[in-house]
Amino acid sequence: MSLPAEKRQGSLFDVPVLVGGLFASPTDRYRLFREKIMPRLWAKRAELAALYCQNNGRPGIEPVLMTAVSLLQFMEKAPDRKAEENVRLHLGWKYAMDLELAYTGFDHSSLGKFRDRLLDGGAERIGFDALLGGLREAGLVKKHGRQRLDSTHVLGAVARMSRLEMVRETIRLFLEHVRRSGAQERLANWAQWQERYIDSEIPWHRLNAESLAEKFQQAGDDALILIQWLRQEVGEVWNHERAVLLERVFLEQYELGVGAPARRKIEASGVVKNPHDPDVQWASKDHAKTKQWEGYKVQIAETVPETDTPKEKGDPTEQFIVEVVTTEAIASDLAGMQKVLRSESLHHADQPSELYADGAYITDDTLMQAKNENRKLIGPSRPSGNAAGNGFSAEQFDVNTTQRTAICPAGHVSRQCSLIHDAYNSAVFLRFEWAGLCDECPLQKQCTKSRAGRRLLVVGIHHDLLQERRRQMQTEEFKKMLRRRNGIEGTISEFTRGGGRRTRYRGRRKTTLGNYMQAAAINANRWIRLSTWQHEQETARIGA
């Protein structure tokens, strides 16, 4: 499909010409979309054009129009079919995009094909960057400004399955692929395979535990037979993604040993939870597993006001999302923060001068990284907790990592400091010892319950920064600074209420695109509300 010829010149049949009076108000949202957002999308046409062939086949639909439609459908929570209908029938949409009144639109499937084209060309964030560029030009987003960061979970667009259902569905999808490729004649007992996995409908709620265990074992035996058969196949059957998925699921759910494959007692992290979207992962928010989900995680960074002056109730926000990063559900917030900072630096040559976050992002290593990059990382650190068998936590020791000394609660200075390299976790620690001082210490029983009666203190190599942060947390000034982070909760709420809690698409790449469009829609709505409010304030000032 080739790139269509660019058409920017208006005609007498355009909606703005025929019924422009319906949108004459300077505060009309579709008028503001046309005036503020469409020029930014047109400025990205050269990048969109690179996704198409030149003079090769039937001309496609104007990519700027498709980007605008994609943005509007996220702004108004419209699925593809509704978006296609609005392009044909909604005067506001036609006005916003400078379409002719008689424009008949396109098939709704074109939107899915356009998203695939964006993903294939690595342009999934083009709409988000277009809006952000416009906000920077308008002076609403400044470089090296304050930012705040937080994460939230995103549910996958698939149903939750038991382990047995997931294995059987994986086998069924593979057998469907075998049938479509015409290879079923080479698979022995095809009629039995079809009856057992393709045509079978099992009333799971009626089966007892013993029957379920038997079916799980049978599914493992059958999966192994299919994998062994695959070893003898070549071409489309062997190289297909469903063949790869079958082998992955089998290895994740079963252990190979002598005899038949055995069920794994515990699932590892990151295993496939639904074969229709292998990228979906199970995760929990905390060790108590009070919040569990199957899907993804998204990191959202937005600007922070330059002043702490509170806004009046009803006033629109002047803060905008500057970065969105979609990660695996099991990815840590620390890794997510690093991706956010790298992405901002790569795409906008920008990093925040101050970053406000919660305790999940604050460690001795992240504080040292921020210090080295001349950036402030502001947030509460988590309590150190007590090591097993110890009464005093690390917070009650005065540690100087530069001089390699530590003073215990009894006032004794450590006699030995060792540098420990943890190759498994790729970490470096400091271990302090008070050899000979613990034996006669009056706080010994309160400090440690080890058999030797000796206390060991193991801390990070930059523990002094963490120690300093914990002291800052006791001051009123620091508590006041932390209030600047609170606004991110409202943005997370707006993101989830707008449809971001459950992804529309399957696969992490498509979910990433959807999250970028969701963030772009939030920025567009905020820009329109802010412009409307500013006009009303200016009108009231002139009238007064």
Write the pLDDT tens digit of every residue in 288-312.
Answer: 567 889 999 999 999 999 888 888 8
Lowest mean pLDDT among 167-176, 441-450, 496-505, 524-533: 441-450
Q: What angle do CA 174, 176, 180 make, to 5 degrees?
A: 115
pLDDT at 9 exceeding the cut of 70: no
Q: Which residue bears the tokens 């440690």?
A: 448
Instruction: Tell me the pLDDT band of 10, cut-offs 50, 70 and 90.
Output: low
Question: Reduced to 3 states, what is the DSSP secondary structure of residue 131?
Answer: helix
3-state SS assignment for residue 303: strand
pLDDT at residue number 200: 83
Distance CA 491, CA 528 (A): 16
Q: Taking a C-beta distance cutoff of 8 angstroms, is the pair 163, 213 a contact?
A: no
| Tens digit of each residue's pLDDT (9 = 90 or more) over 212-243 | 999 999 999 999 999 999 988 766 677 789 99
By the 8 A CB rule, do 326 and 151 touch? Answer: no
Q: List, in sequence order, every residue forming a beta bridge with 421; answer none if it has no partner.
A: 428
Q: What is the tens place of the pLDDT at every residue in 27-51?
A: 999 999 999 999 999 999 999 999 9
Q: Do 459 and 467 contact (CB within 8 A), yes or no?
A: no
Neighbouring residues of 330: CB distance < 8 A, sequence distance ≥ 6: 269, 270, 281, 283
- Per-residue pLDDT reduced to its tens digit, 11-30: 767 787 888 788 889 999 99
φ, ψ at 423 (rounded to 5°): -65, -35
Residue among 337, 325, 332, 301 at smallest CA distance from 488: 301
CA distance 73 to 521: 9
Q: Confirm if 234 and 159 have CB atoms less than 8 A apart.
A: no
Amino acid 308: pLDDT? 82
Tell me how far apart the alpha carbons of residues 468 and 466 are, in angstroms, rounded to a whole number.
5
Q: What is the bridge-based pairing of β-strands 281-284 and 262-263?
A: unpaired
Tell me the average pLDDT across 477-487: 93
pLDDT confidence tier of residue 8, bands split at 50, 70 and 90: low
Predicted pLDDT of residue 5 = 72
* CA distance between the termini of the chain: 58
Whether pLDDT at 439 is above 90: no
Burial of 251 (0-12, 13-18, 19+ CB in 10 A): middle
pLDDT at residue 536 above 70?
yes
Q: How far apart are CA 16 and CA 307, in angstroms?
A: 40
Whole-angstrom Cα distance, residue 332 to residue 151? 10
Residues 245-269: what's their mean pLDDT? Answer: 92
CB 325 within 8 A of CB 298: yes
3-state helix, strand and coil shares in percent for the chain, rounded to the nearest 5: 45, 15, 40
How many CB atoms are located within 10 Å of the residue 437 CB? 17
pLDDT level of residue 387 (50, 70, 90 thresholds): low
Query: Which residues are within 8 A (CB) of 260 and not within 5 positions of it... i.e. 6 or more apart?
Result: 217, 220, 221
pLDDT band at 426 (very low <50, low <70, confident <90, very high): confident
